[in-house]
Amino acid sequence: MSLDPDVPDGTTDILIRDGIIEKLGQGLALPDGVEQIDGTGNLVVPGFVDTHWHLWNSLLRGTVGDGPGRDYFSVKRGLAPHLNDDDFYWSARFALAEAVQNGITTVHNWDHNVRGAGDIDANIQAHLDSGLRGRFSYGPRDSSGADEVMDFDGLDDAINRWTSDRLDGRIHFGVALRGPYRTSTELAAREWSCARERNVPITMHCDRCMREPGCQSCGLTRLDREGLLGPDVQVVHAVHASAEDIEAIARTGTRISVSPLSEMRTMGFPVVTEFLEAGVLTSLSVDTLAMPANADVLSSLRALLSVEHARTKRATLTPRIALEMATIRAAKDLGIDGITGSIRQGKRADLIVFDRSSTSLLPTGDPAESLVYHGTSAAIRTVISDGRVLLRDGELVQQTARQAIDTATERRDALVQRAMAAGTWDK
């Protein structure tokens, strides 16, 4: 299932050379010395693309919960200052291992707790070591003051140190800004200008409604008036977008990323149907492993599809469009649709192989409907990213990925102990 408008679905061989899909066709000759993966009876789809994921706080999973003082923001504020560079590396490495297990081959690492060059390096190195591709969006330190200008010198330093050859052509930079509802209008304009002078894509949380109880709009029309929207901007969590907000987003070419599980838990219902009907480029994201979510893309899509049908009584969101939100539309959101997001000759080889004999995919039917309505990550047999096999026969290939999983609880416990010793955490 190519999810490419110019490549029909159907039975085909795929030849990968040097990380590129070199040929598609039936009965391709197997070159000497080339590994063969038998996909007979399986379903191959593009690797999933996640467009907003806070990798740095993955180790907070199990600490965030329903007890007093254990909500996401309380835990984040209490533990964020105590992550060291080692924690940043292994937190990201743990999340990216879970990404591979769930067929995610591209991750937008949304870092809103940049504490210095060391943690930037740790995040990027973890991403490179994982074998995945993505974007690193440089943001402010967690809980930084509304009048505190983000450290763009630190961004410049990171860009200068992490040259394209060091990034292996797999990672690019972005910037995570707070916006005028978390800072002054003047400071927001200044940070937008700094980002656009550097020609880096912008992402921001649409969190006005978290700060202004009872509001009926995300306030994006204000950003439109102030010249802050545009095709270089991605807005996350726009669950309270009004008709006027949606019109502004559509007219300016601004992109939308939705995180269904975390949004429905604490924010509201994502208005995906309205975005799609307005022609807004809309994509899917995990958000964080710390809250009641995981990296199972199919479960998120299934929940989103069911909620949208119940909420709107319209079938605008179909299983195939849902899959596009996690593949080609997500790649367009990140500006890398010429590289990944669909199966097409000349694109990088980011692929998932599903076992169609898995119970969840039987009896067989329309492949898009089967995946979204019934599929689970347990049916994933092989994951290939940039031509590298990272999951084989359902098992992680990289020893460091397995190590990240095996040591996650130990590292989380050590982080909590440091916070308790410093007096910022007592739960």
**Residue 16 pLDDT > 70:** yes
Six token digits for residue 99: 């990404």
Question: Residue 288, Cβ neighbours under 10 Å: how many?
Answer: 25
**Residue 338 pLDDT > 80:** yes
Six token digits for residue 187: 């400071």
**Residue 255 pLDDT > 90:** yes
**Lowest-pLDDT choice from 51-55, 67-71, 124-128, 222-226:** 67-71
Confidence at residue 37, expressed as pLDDT on a 0 to 100 scale:
94
Greater pLDDT, 145 or 310 = 310
pLDDT band at 216 (very low <50, low <70, confident <90, very high): confident
Contacts of 378 (CB under 8 A, 6+ apart): 358, 360, 394
Contacts of 11 (CB under 8 A, 6+ apart): 26
Domain residue limits, the chain: 13-24+38-45+342-399, 48-333
pLDDT band at 6 (very low <50, low <70, confident <90, very high): very high
Six token digits for residue 199: 């020609």
Pairing assessment for the beta strands 233-236 and 255-258 based on DSSP bridges: parallel
Q: pLDDT of 147-167, one tens digit each? A: 888 999 999 999 999 999 999
pLDDT band at 391 (very low <50, low <70, confident <90, very high): very high
Structural class in CATH, domain 13-24+38-45+342-399 = mainly beta
**Residue 214 pLDDT > 80:** no
Q: Please compute the mean of the pLDDT values over residues 211-228 and round it to a whole number.
A: 87
**Residue 291 pLDDT > 90:** no
Confidence at residue 424, expressed as pLDDT on a 0 to 100 scale:
81
**Lowest-pLDDT choice from 247-251, 259-263, 326-330:** 259-263
**Residue 126 pLDDT > 90:** yes
**Lowest-pLDDT choice from 83-92, 120-129, 140-149, 331-340:** 140-149
**Residue 210 pLDDT > 70:** no
pLDDT band at 423 (very low <50, low <70, confident <90, very high): confident
pTM above 0.85, yes or no: yes
Confidence at residue 425, expressed as pLDDT on a 0 to 100 scale:
78
Structural class in CATH, domain 48-333 = alpha beta
Angle between helices 117-130 and 152-161 (to 10 degrees): 40
Let me know if 165 is exposed, middle or buried by CB neighbors in 10 A (0-12, 13-18, 19+).
Answer: exposed
- Give all strands (DSSP E) within 130-250, no chain letters: 133-138, 171-177, 202-205, 233-236
Contacts of 423 (CB under 8 A, 6+ apart): none
SS3 101: helix
pLDDT band at 56 (very low <50, low <70, confident <90, very high): very high
